[in-house]
Amino acid sequence: MSAERLPLAARPLTEPHPSRLSPEHPHRERILAAHAAALAADEAGYPDPDTGLFVLTAGFLAGRGTCCGRGCRHCPYATD
């Protein structure tokens, strides 16, 4: 049984939800640049510029069709 596809949040895939990446985050521009580069290259994710952890892109997550509920930085479904 497959999960029902969810509608995407009403914001561009390039823009994370503010609760997942604050507009005041000191490295926001570096993070958004890394995310944009990964989106443009159609890559699943990118290494976080600060921690080196692998972060999934909104494009990859949107392709899955459902939210995993783990609080992903670029979750295209998060509306809260």
Q: Write the pLDDT tens digit of every residue in 4-54.
A: 778 899 999 999 988 899 999 999 999 999 999 999 999 999 999 989 999
Q: Write the pLDDT tens digit of every residue in 60-80.
A: 999 999 998 899 999 999 766
Question: Domain residues of the chain, as ranges?
Answer: 14-80
* Pairing label, strands 54-56, 45-47: antiparallel
Residue-level pLDDT at 6: 81
Tell me how far apart the 2 most distant CA atoms of the chain are, in Å: 43
Strand partners, 47: 54
CA distance 41 to 60: 12
Q: What's the whole-model pTM score? A: 0.88
Q: Which of 39, 31, 71 is nearest to 57 (CA)?
A: 39
